[in-house]
Amino acid sequence: MPAIYPFLLSLALFLLPLTSEAGEAADFAAASPARQAQLLEHWAATPDPTRQPLLDALQHGRLAVDGARRAFIERDGRLVAAEGDAPPEGTPKKLRLNNRLRGLLATAQASHRLLAEEPEVRLAAARALQKSARPAQLSLLNASLARESDAAVRDALALALANLQLADPDPKIRLGAVRLLGETGEPLARTRLEALLAPDAERDPTVRTAAETSLAQIKRRLLFGELLGQAFSGLSLGSILLLAALGLAITFGLLGVINMAHGEMLMLGAYATYVVQLLFQRHFPEALALYPLAALPVAFLATATVGMALERTVIRHLYGRPLETLLATWGISLILIQLVRVLFGAQNVEVANPAWLSGGVQVLPNLVLPWNRLVIIAFALFVVALTWLLLNRTRLGLNVRAVTQNRNMAACCGVPTGRVDMLAFGLGSGIAGLGGVALSQIGNVGPDLGQSYIIDSFLVVVLGGVGQLAGSVLAAFGLGVANKILEPQIGAVLGKILILALIILFIQKRPQGLFALKGRVLD
Amino acid sequence: MQRRSLIKAFTLSASIAAMGLSWTIQAAETIKVGILHSLSGTMAISETSLKDMALMTIEEINAKGGVNGKQLEPVVVDPASNWPLFAEKARQLLTQDKVAVVFGCWTSVSRKSVLPVFEELNGLLFYPVQYEGEELSPNVFYTGAAPNQQAIPAVEYLMSEEGGAAKRFFLLGTDYVYPRTTNKILRAFLLSKGVAEKDIEEVYTPFGHSDYQTIVANIKKFAAGGKTAVVSTINGDSNVPFYKELANQGLDATEVPVVAFSVGEEELRGIDTKPLVGHLAAWNYFQSVDNPVNSEFVEKWKAYAKAKGLPNADKAVTNDPMEATYVGIHMWAQAVEKAGTTEVDKVREALAGQTFAAPSGYTLTMDATNHHLHKPVMIGEVQEDGQFSVVWQTEGPIRAQPWSPFIPGNESKPEYAVKSN
């Protein structure tokens, strides 16, 4: 059976280094890609602490080869010969790895790190080996497990070993391995167990039953992770929709202005982020990572100012004339798009994620939550809370609500309705600007950015019920989750169409949306 | 506005250069050439640099005295990633501006929408991008790759030991004719190589799609079933959110390599490539190719970008479709010299068998019959600096097969150009 091959392979690999006189670095540098792969596999099975600098140099692309195929390691910008001290012949070239070698190198690194002093490093190494351990490493893993003192590392190692033990000739060892694998939620363990359960693969009935139980266990865990993942991406999409629509919930929902230029407020917010990023790059490169935070007030103020200017110059003349407002704001949106094209060019601009918004946190073996999405969900909730406080706990909010409910009565009571209109429109635009900052961190920033969000924003506000913040929040998250549940089943394109059709049906049945203001004030 | 003044400035400088070179040429006697690339919308990320490359090449030809003693005069229009607008602008170029030739289009859907216009008016289009084949119009010359010059070698590489010996394939693309047809060809090819139906997954997203959470999660799930490779035919600016999501969800190239057919140096300019090291792209040229023709080409482009103040000129890069544009314009100019006229029928005849020493390091030949270039195939891995390092390439240029043998019914298609209807 195939179990003998790994053994033969490792035996063959043991014999390899005897054939060469020169050092390992030189060996590697002079080898063909296929032989380099063999060397790495061999190193992975026989870790040696003295090899560590070579592996590090390889991993970070600091190994160079000169004209005579000798190896040099770059240290502090200088090239040092890996073995001996001969000067390089010609200009040494960096040694480039391909994917296969990079994968093998990662495995070799992990088995070398098993020798490290710190338990955390060993733990990370053992976890890496759970995915990538190769049959040739069986004896190494056994030895490491026997030597290991830290309980967590022992567990991780046992699991890495279990993957290899599935091919063990002894049914007892296989049984133990199968049971151990059942405890994990690894997607790979599922594939391995399924392979074991294929007809003719496993003869021993006890191992077979154990494998079936373990497989069912793993499937349950994986399903749990998958559902959580779907819920998370739904929430994430919902938070993006919410940020895009929240400003509109004020300008359209409360003020009743059919604001077609809302998308452009998002776009201006994103461009404000870009400008802040440029300023940071030029003037405070050391604080560059913090630019999205600095962009928040800038984007808010910039878009609020633009919004208030628009309200004073155009929109206030059109109150009560929805059709003209629609056309005028649409015209404004075209003007703003063209303005940005002239100022920044028609191409997308680069808004980079700072390091703290890149990468993700591994929650379950099959679930990674990206930082930028986590931050955006939190940010969306923060903006909702802020808006709610502004509308319900401040004088301005009181005035806004009074004016939207009954303009004449509010004016009679001494509320400066004109000023309140302007401030409310500014607030809505400013919040759209905040949304723009968040959108710049996940998508493209270009003059057309607003166009792709305007429809979704109106959908959210209309579905949520005009005049209601809570409705918009619920509608945004509802749409997000529904979208993400449908997408894997019927695809992104059909999913969107179906959602649209459902919303139209819903609005037919309930024109006022999810939540409606009760009373006589609405006309 | 900016564009118009740019063109003005350009024609002015071109005519001054012309006067300087030879007094006998009158500035008015020029050959008009059309440039039809989206300068706004979702495709602007890819197409804008092609417009600039075309202008540079025309400037270069003009500086050497033009074609048949006449200066070339570029006419730039912006079809704005809007497919019907492509047809409208093409008609405008051919009937109002009376251009001798048009260099343009990126997406196949834009090419399909201008095709009837070129065939009706007997115009001449040079199309510089890799595409799905299944077309051979007498009015189009294809300087990009056909499927057998890009897609099929790339998948063969993924299946090889060196490329990671992939067993399962996730075909991901933008929803239009190029990805759909390419994936149809790839599916037939994979099935012929013994890959099972259940090991091939096909997923499409709309143009400008920006939420790749579900898709990346699905790729991970799919990859648990065996060594997987992703074949991406995503076009335009959707690539930025796609690669960002890949990096953020920690999908490594050593686990699941992504080979892209429409991502080059230019598209990667806007992304931090450190988490993407090892992902692949298949093209017929990379900026990192080491040969004297290419060093000169890259130098010239960088100098041009700086001189014209193009956005991000300090980080200017070249890529495959830019090279194909450069080669196409030069071949057209050579053919016009040979024919002695810009008349489309004569130029078409003269184009057959034209050769040009291209920056890819090979002398490329325009096929005698099938309107395609013979091109070398290269597969490159993304590096930390946003460049590609070539990990595999063919021995030399290979001939294009516009009618892929993996699509049934293609055996009877003629190997020469006929009008599509």
Q: What is the CATH classification number for the domain harbouring B220?
A: 3.40.50.2300
Contact B236/B43 with Cβ under 8 angstroms?
A: yes
Between the alpha carbon of residue B169 and those of residues B194, B230, B231, B232, B253, the distances in Å are 12, 6, 7, 10, 14
Q: State how far the Cα of A15 lies from the Cα of A38, in Å rounded to an integer.
A: 12
Whether the complex's predicted ipTM surpasses the cut of 0.90:
no
Say yes or no: B385 and B238 in one domain: yes
Q: What is the mean pLDDT of residues B11-21?
A: 50
In the predicted structure, residue A2 carries a pLDDT above the cut 50: no
**How many cross-chain Cβ pairs, A to B, lie less than 8 Å apart?**
140
pLDDT at B260: 94
Q: Kindly determine whether residue A353 and residue B250, on different chains, have CB atoms separated by under 8 Å.
A: no
Distance from CA of B177 to the nearest CA of A (A): 15
The fraction of chain A above a pLDDT of 70, given in percent, is 94
Say yes or no: B78 and B218 in one domain: no
The fraction of chain B above a pLDDT of 90, given in percent, is 69
Q: Kindly determine whether residue A443 and residue B240, on different chains, have CB atoms separated by under 8 Å.
A: yes
Q: Kindly determine whether residue B214 and residue A233, on different chains, have CB atoms separated by under 8 Å.
A: yes
Instruction: For residue B24, tell me if it sits in a domain.
Output: yes
pLDDT at B4: 57
Q: What is the mean pLDDT of residues B210-226?
A: 89
Please give the residue that has the higher pLDDT: either B414 or B343: B343
Three-class SS of residue A406?
coil
Q: What is the mean pLDDT of residues A212-225?
A: 89
Instruction: For residue B418, tell me if it sits in a domain.
Output: no
- CB contacts of A190 in chain B (<8 Å) are 224
- Read off the pLDDT of residues B149-158 as tens digits, 9 standing for 90 and up: 999 999 999 9
Instruction: For residue B45, tell me if it sits in a domain.
Output: yes
pLDDT at A234: 93
pLDDT at A29: 82
pLDDT at B187: 96
In the predicted structure, residue B20 carries a pLDDT above the cut 50: no
In which band, very low, low, confident or very high, does the pLDDT at B370 lie, cut at 50, 70 and 90? very high
Say yes or no: B188 and B257 in one domain: yes
Distance from CA of A229 to the nearest CA of B (A): 8
- CB contacts of A347 in chain B (<8 Å) are 39, 44-45, 48, 311
Indicate the residue of A131, A347, A496 with minimum beta-carbon distance to B44: A347
Instruction: For residue B89, tell me if it sits in a domain.
Output: yes
Q: Three-state SS string across A223-276, please? A: HHHHHHHHHHHHHHHHHHHHHHHHHHHHHHHHCCCCCCCHHHHHHHHHHHHHHH
Q: Kindly determine whether residue A360 and residue B221, on different chains, have CB atoms separated by under 8 Å.
A: no
Three-class SS of residue A420?
helix
- Read off the pLDDT of residues B95-104 as tens digits, 9 standing for 90 and up: 999 999 999 9
Between the alpha carbon of residue B272 and those of residues A207, A281, A389, B193, B383, the distances in Å are 48, 15, 38, 36, 11
> Which amino acid, residue B40?
S
- CB contacts of A448 in chain B (<8 Å) are 40-42
Q: What is the mean pLDDT of residues A321-338?
A: 91
Please give the residue that has the higher pLDDT: either B22 or A303: A303
Q: What is the mean pLDDT of residues A198-212?
A: 82
In the predicted structure, residue A98 carries a pLDDT above the cut 50: yes
Say yes or no: B124 and B262 in one domain: no
Instruction: Compute the C-alpha angle A150/A156/A162, nearest 5°.
Output: 130
Q: What is the mean pLDDT of residues B161-176?
A: 91
Q: State how far the Cα of A427 lies from the Cα of A301, in Å rounded to an integer.
A: 9
pLDDT at B3: 54
Say yes or no: B301 and B365 in one domain: yes
Q: What is the mean pLDDT of residues A169-178?
A: 85
In the predicted structure, residue B17 carries a pLDDT above the cut 60: no
Say yes or no: B62 and B187 in one domain: no
Q: State how far the Cα of B352 lies from the Cα of B58, in Å rounded to an integer.
A: 21
In which band, very low, low, confident or very high, does the pLDDT at A1 lie, cut at 50, 70 and 90? very low
Three-class SS of residue B390?
strand
pLDDT at A380: 95
> Which amino acid, residue B318?
T
In which band, very low, low, confident or very high, does the pLDDT at B13 lie, cut at 50, 70 and 90? low
Least confident of A234-238, A322-326, B125-129: A322-326
pLDDT at B26: 46
pLDDT at B77: 96
In the predicted structure, residue A468 carries a pLDDT above the cut 80: no
- Residue ranges per structural domain of chain A: 4-165, 247-450
- CB contacts of A372 in chain B (<8 Å) are 248
Q: Kindly determine whether residue B247 and residue A366, on different chains, have CB atoms separated by under 8 Å.
A: no
> E strands along A60-162, which residues?
63-65, 71-75, 78-81, 93-94
pLDDT at A146: 86
Q: State how far the Cα of A482 lies from the Cα of A484, in Å rounded to an integer.
A: 5
Say yes or no: B165 and B86 in one domain: no
Q: State how far the Cα of B211 lies from the Cα of A234, in Å rounded to an integer.
A: 11
pLDDT at B162: 85
What's B275's DSSP letter? G
In the predicted structure, residue A79 carries a pLDDT above the cut 90: no
- CB contacts of A187 in chain B (<8 Å) are 220-221, 224
pLDDT at B129: 95
Say yes or no: B178 and B271 in one domain: yes
Mean pLDDT score across all residues of chain B: 89
Q: What is the mean pLDDT of residues A84-97?
A: 76
Say yes or no: B255 and B337 in one domain: no
Q: What is the mean pLDDT of residues B372-378?
A: 95
Q: Kindly determine whether residue B224 and residue A96, on different chains, have CB atoms separated by under 8 Å.
A: no
Q: State how far the Cα of B208 lies from the Cα of A448, in Å rounded to an integer.
A: 10
Torsion sign over Cα B93, B95, B98, B102: positive
In the predicted structure, residue B169 carries a pLDDT above the cut 70: yes
pLDDT at A165: 84
Q: What is the mean pLDDT of residues A15-19?
A: 44
Say yes or no: B367 and B386 in one domain: no
- CB contacts of B237 in chain A (<8 Å) are 348, 444, 446
pLDDT at B28: 55
Q: What is the mean pLDDT of residues B14-29?
A: 50
In which band, very low, low, confident or very high, does the pLDDT at B2 lie, cut at 50, 70 and 90? low
Instruction: For residue B420, tell me if it sits in a domain.
Output: no
What domain range is B294 assigned to?
Answer: 2-145+290-376
- Read off the pLDDT of residues A355-391 as tens digits, 9 standing for 90 and up: 888 888 888 888 889 999 999 999 999 999 999 999 8
Say yes or no: B65 and B133 in one domain: yes
Which tokens sit at A43? Answer: 């190193």
Least confident of A57-61, B102-106, B133-137: A57-61
Say yes or no: B331 and B240 in one domain: no
Q: Kindly determine whether residue A493 and residue B164, on different chains, have CB atoms separated by under 8 Å.
A: no
Place of tokens 């892929």: B404
Please give the residue that has the higher pLDDT: either B398 or A511: B398
Q: What's the pTM?
A: 0.85
Which tokens sit at A361? Answer: 């946190």
Split into its structural domains, chain B has a count of 2
Q: What is the mean pLDDT of residues A23-32?
A: 82
In which band, very low, low, confident or very high, does the pLDDT at A26 lie, cut at 50, 70 and 90? confident
